[in-house]
């Protein structure tokens, strides 16, 4: 009854039935190759190398593997989004081709003279007065030089597994017995990507990578009689290397090689020198175009800080949590 009382069928003053558990802050989500991508962006800036315009197409899951209970695919369907982030970390100039629904709708509105970029200020409660409609100009949308497409092509379970179970006990069952077990198993994921010249449709770069993942399980148990009482205690621990992080790692490794080729970087040795740039707009979380000259306080490195903007550890954020009205 005490445990059941932790959840109330009636919402409390806060408007919630129960307080969610957990207090982990939002953190950066790098792969082992994210630092290399950031280094390539710094390399391009240091030597004044211009990035071509890159678009990302569909990077689909072609394995066809689904969960047995029908809950969905085993691998992420957002590989294209990971590729966008990877190119951004490398400082590439990106153009949107994956989801153009908003741009196409606004272009349609602009073509019908329904969109205004500027509106005259008015008194509160009154609708703004348009100052003119948005103009459409020939050649206003920059084209891409290359685009990346491909897919996840392999998902192999249990490439190899091993395990051991050790049971110990006395000849007299009343004196107790124990069990120790351990298991290891290996799986892998593979991906095939290609970079295509937008103008000529020539495939200029093809990359195929695979990554193995390991999982483990360990457990121990004890069983014994204490007089008329039987005690059975067991404990275990298991872990599996994240499969979706493996997909991100495959993409970021491929993008490292692609951008190193496009930048003309000689190899990993070009990243071993000291970084003369310091803070910038490219980091482990991606990249952005600064709206103001405030890189001394808001740059890519600050975006990687765990406690930044977290009301529990950063005293800066304050104000209403309702939103704007």
Contact status, residue 72 vs residue 66, Cβ threshold 8 Å:
yes
Distance CA(119)–CA(129), nearest Å, equals: 5
Q: Tell how far CA 142 is from the center of its chain.
A: 27
Whether pLDDT at 86 is above 80: yes
Residues near 55 by beta carbon (within 8 Å), at least 6 away in sequence = 94, 95, 96, 97, 98, 144, 146, 147, 148, 198
Rounded to whole angstroms, what are the CA distances from 210 to 68, 184, 191, 228, 244?
A: 24, 20, 6, 56, 13
Closest CA to 244 of 97, 51, 31: 31
* Residue 261 forms part of a structural domain: yes
* Residue 108 forms part of a structural domain: no
* Residue 226 forms part of a structural domain: yes
Look up the domain containing 161 and give its range: 24-95+142-303
* Residue 74 forms part of a structural domain: yes
pLDDT in tens, 256-306: 999 999 999 887 776 755 444 445 788 888 888 888 888 877 888 788 787
pLDDT in tens, 237-249: 999 999 999 999 9
pLDDT in tens, 115-166: 888 766 666 666 666 668 888 999 999 999 999 999 999 999 989 999 998 9
* Residue 158 forms part of a structural domain: yes
What is the number of domains present in the chain? 1
CATH number at residue 248: 3.40.50.10610
Contact status, residue 306 vs residue 111, Cβ threshold 8 Å:
no
Whether pLDDT at 212 is above 90: yes
* Residue 111 forms part of a structural domain: no
Instruction: Give the SS3 label for residue 89.
Output: helix
pLDDT in tens, 163-202: 998 988 877 767 788 889 999 999 999 999 999 999 999 9
* Residue 322 forms part of a structural domain: no
β-strands 146-169, 53-61: how paired? parallel
Q: Which residue has the higher pLDDT, 220 or 225?
A: 220
* Residue 163 forms part of a structural domain: yes
């Amino acid at each position: 009854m005490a445990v059941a009382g932790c959840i109330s069928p009636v919402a409390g003053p806060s408007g919630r039935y129960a307080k969610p558990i957990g207090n982990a802050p939002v953190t950066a989500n790098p792969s082992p190759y994210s630092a290399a991508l950031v280094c390539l962006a710094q390399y391009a800036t240091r030597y004044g190398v211009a990035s071509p315009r890159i678009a990302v197409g569909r990077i689909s899951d072609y394995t066809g593997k689904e969960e047995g209970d029908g809950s969905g695919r085993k691998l992420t369907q957002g590989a294209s989004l990971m590729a966008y982030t990877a190119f951004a970390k490398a400082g590439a100039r990106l153009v949107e081709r994956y989801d153009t629904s908003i741009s196409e709708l606004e272009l349609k509105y602009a073509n019908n003279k329904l969109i205004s970029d500027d509106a005259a200020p008015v008194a509160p409660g009154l609708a703004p007065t348009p100052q003119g409609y948005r103009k459409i100009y020939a050649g206003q949308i920059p084209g891409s030089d290359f685009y990346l497409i491909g897919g996840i092509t392999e998902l192999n379970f249990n490439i190899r597994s091993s395990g051991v179970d050790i049971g110990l006990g006395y000849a007299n069952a009343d004196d107790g017995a124990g069990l120790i077990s351990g298991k290891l198993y290996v799986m892998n994921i593979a991906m095939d990507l290609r970079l295509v010249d937008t103008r000529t449709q020539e495939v200029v770069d093809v990359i195929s990578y695979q990554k193995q993942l390991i999982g483990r399980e360990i457990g121990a148990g004890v069983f014994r009689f204490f007089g008329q009482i039987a005690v059975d205690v067991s404990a275990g621990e298991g872990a599996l290397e994240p499969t979706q992080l493996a997909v991100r790692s495959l993409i970021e490794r491929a993008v490292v090689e692609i951008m190193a080729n496009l930048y003309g970087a000689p190899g990993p040795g070009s990243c071993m020198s000291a970084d003369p740039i310091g803070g910038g707009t490219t980091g482990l979380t991606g990249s952005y175009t600064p709206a103001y000259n405030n890189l001394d306080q808001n740059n890519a490195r600050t975006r990687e800080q765990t406690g930044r903007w977290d009301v529990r550890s950063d005293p800066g954020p304050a104000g209403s949590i309702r939103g704007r009205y």
